[in-house]
Chain A
Amino acid sequence: MKKGISLLVVLVATAVVAASAQANHQTSASAAKGFSCKSTFTLPFVTPLTGGAAFLGQEQMSWASYAVKTLAPKLGLKVKLVGGDTPVEQGATPAQDLAQKYVGDKSVYAILGPSTSGAVAASSATYFAAGIAHLSPSATRTDLTKTVAGVKEGTPAFFRDVPGDYIQGPSDANYMIKTLHVKKVVIMDFQEPYSLGLADSVQSVLNAAGVTTIRLSAPNTTTDYSAFVTKVPSDANIVFFPTQKPADAQTFAQQLLEQGKQAKVFGGDGSNDSTQFKVPGSYVSNFAPDITGIAADKALVAGWQKANPGKPVGSFGPPSYGAAQILLNAIHLACVADHGVLKSRRDVLRKVKQVSIKNWILGGTFKWSTKSNDPLNAKFYIFQIQSDGSYKLVG
């Protein structure tokens, strides 16, 4: 019996070694041959498709899907868009697991996303080591592209087509100081990278201007904010609430009213959703304007609406279309430079910053900053929610 087991173990080990050798041989051969641009590229979109921020990921997927469907054929590319789910409630693990998976997939030459700052921080090094460009349409934490207090969590392979919190934080805080003339502000964070970065940034500008700030911190899984609302002083002017779940901003604003508190909620880009956050008088900031008001986007919006009947045009989708557009162009440029056979993933990575797009979906022309992997001259927009629930541009 023991002999039989030993024989079985030896056979299994031999089979594993042989299979591994064969796989290595195939990988080396494939690397030597390169990847034909006539083959189908896999373009993963790493974004929350389930969980509390799934609305964001699904909106982004719909726009990226539309970009791939309409732009890839024009660039002579065959691209399969796949979703990689990173629920915000599960922290860094899904992003790390997906990064390992995509690095191992030889048809992956670029990554859309990760959509959230925490997921970028968790996976950027893995993508960088594999030479894979990853471009986020919504990760805004400052230290993903710039060094903050000696820390930079993104790598040179990480890009984003929306401005970072180094613009959003000061822009929101300055609006509170100069336009709203605030004296006391409650600042919430949700114990995850996006809100922590943004809350820190807003708090430092407010404190420097002599505004009193009170910091509250809620676990990312909080659904009922009553106890937090209880801690908001009656004389606070604003509660800065940088959530990634707009429905939570709505709950918080309603619970403020329930407890008779005067403070208004001021959300970041993560709460910008007019279908879910609609308590009049509240504020939101966002990296994108309402593209339905941009004349050059009329046909694009109509096309997307035809492909997605009944869905509203939100603010997270359009930058995802733009991100897909940039990556498809980078792959196209690399294919041209490599004469139709990509030698390495780094060939695509090197082309990303050469992409410039006229008639950019968010208006004007898209260009990269020469100092960081951020867009040039990008800005944040501040909206106030009106009594009919619409968002009015106020800053």
Chain B
Amino acid sequence: MDTFIQLTIDALTLGSVYALIALGYTLVYGVLKLLNFAHGDVFMVGTFIGYGVLQLLGGAESPNVPVWALIPIITVAAMAGCAILGVVIERFAYRPLRDAPRIAPLISALGVSFFLANSMQLLFGATPRTYNAFDLGNGELYFKGFDIGNVRVPLLRIITIGSAFVLMIALYLLVNKTRTGKAMRATSYDREAAAMMGIDIDKVIRFTFILGSALAGAAGVMFALRVPTTAAIGFVAGLKGFTAAVIGGIGSIPGAMAGGLILGFAESYTQGYISTKWSDLVVFSILIAFMIFRPQGLLGRADIRKV
């Protein structure tokens, strides 16, 4: 039972980070019908922004601000930095290609991905950067928390899972309960019709990139609080986020959340109960199964065309 509880905590931690990344893919796809393959690298930049701000604030061993304020500060900084990056990417890499064949922005996205990964490596080197969250408050993020049976749920995991769910709920409310969200949904359904109704499409797309990239920034900090980061992590993180988005139904916000969690649970339980060797095999088999039997994903809309 302890193993099950521990694996479930692992799955929720992992899945919530995947879900936040997947939301970025799904938001952009929903509005632009573009697979933003640079999104994993925006996530990676988020981890570095968080690291940089943490160092500016004195580092984990002797921070200049209380621990309770430190994590929100670095998270907001990473979200803001990634939001700006997202706007820049959209403006210079995607907007000029908006009316080009769909392969063009896809190739541009891959180019941006390589550009970001290699630039970060040139700028900051290849040595993994670690937040040393273990040293924050003498390890209180790791050792404080609450117990379920014999299993400790550390504060850091509570923060990660809790923050991710708060962000996901906020996003859901924003998209479904605000005027801006309504404009996003309208653009997603039919861009031309939305424009004819007076919606500023450029503004909506820019806002979508701000949202998606900010979520990637938050995910980056939550991820890097626990594991080291390098300029190379964007690829795998992006791949997992993309898989989660496809499983959940690309374009569907609840789908991306569900997809992320499914991926987290699949990975964690496979490692725990089947074999540690098989986790990627199982994860990508689920992706293939969805592509074959339910290509629109768990909560996505089937693309019905009249002939």
Would A227 and B272 count as touching, CB distance under 8 A? Answer: yes
- Assembly CA distance A54 to B226 (angstroms): 21
Would A251 and B227 count as touching, CB distance under 8 A? Answer: yes
Would A224 and B226 count as touching, CB distance under 8 A? Answer: yes
Interface set, chain A 211-227, CB cutoff 8 A to B: 216-219, 221, 223-224, 226-227
Interface set, chain B 87-126, CB cutoff 8 A to A: 118, 121, 125-126
Would A224 and B152 count as touching, CB distance under 8 A? Answer: no
A259 within 8 A of B: yes
- In which size bucket is the chain B interface? 35 or more
Interface set, chain B 13-29, CB cutoff 8 A to A: 13-14
Q: Is the interface of B mostly helix, strand, loop or mixed?
A: helix
- Assembly CA distance A52 to B129 (angstroms): 11
- Assembly CA distance A246 to B143 (angstroms): 23
Interface set, chain A 34-61, CB cutoff 8 A to B: 49-52, 54-55, 57-58
Would B228 and A248 count as touching, CB distance under 8 A? Answer: yes
A207 within 8 A of B: no
Would A230 and B10 count as touching, CB distance under 8 A? Answer: yes
Would B127 and A228 count as touching, CB distance under 8 A? Answer: no
Most buried by A among B154, B228, B236, B279: B228
B230 within 8 A of A: yes
- Count residues of A near B (Cβ-Cβ below 8 Å): 36
- Contact status of A218 and B276, CB under 8 A, knowing A54-B126, A58-B125, A251-B227: yes
- Assembly CA distance A75 to B280 (angstroms): 51
Q: Which residue in B121, B126, B236, B271 is a CB contact (below 8 Å) of A227?
A: B271
Would B228 and A191 count as touching, CB distance under 8 A? Answer: no
Would B154 and A258 count as touching, CB distance under 8 A? Answer: yes
Most buried by B among A216, A223, A231, A276: A223
- Assembly CA distance A259 to B268 (angstroms): 15
B233 within 8 A of A: yes
Would B277 and A230 count as touching, CB distance under 8 A? Answer: no
A89 within 8 A of B: yes
Would A228 and B230 count as touching, CB distance under 8 A? Answer: no
Would A230 and B232 count as touching, CB distance under 8 A? Answer: no
Return the chain A residue nearest B224 by Cβ: A223
- Assembly CA distance A292 to B75 (angstroms): 40
- Assembly CA distance A58 to B230 (angstroms): 14
Q: Which residue in B232, B275, B276 is a CB contact (below 8 Å) of A89?
A: B232
B3 within 8 A of A: yes
B58 within 8 A of A: no
- Contact status of A52 and B227, CB under 8 A, knowing A216-B276, A227-B272: no
- Contact status of A254 and B236, CB under 8 A, knowing A54-B126, A218-B276, A276-B128: no
B142 within 8 A of A: yes
- Assembly CA distance A87 to B230 (angstroms): 13
5 contacts between A and B (CB under 8 A): A57-B126, A191-B277, A231-B271, A258-B152, A276-B130
User: Which B residues lie at the A interface, using CB under 8 A?
Assistant: 3, 6-7, 9-10, 13-14, 118, 121, 125-128, 130, 134, 139, 142-143, 152, 154, 223, 226-228, 230-233, 235-236, 267-268, 271-272, 275-277, 279-280
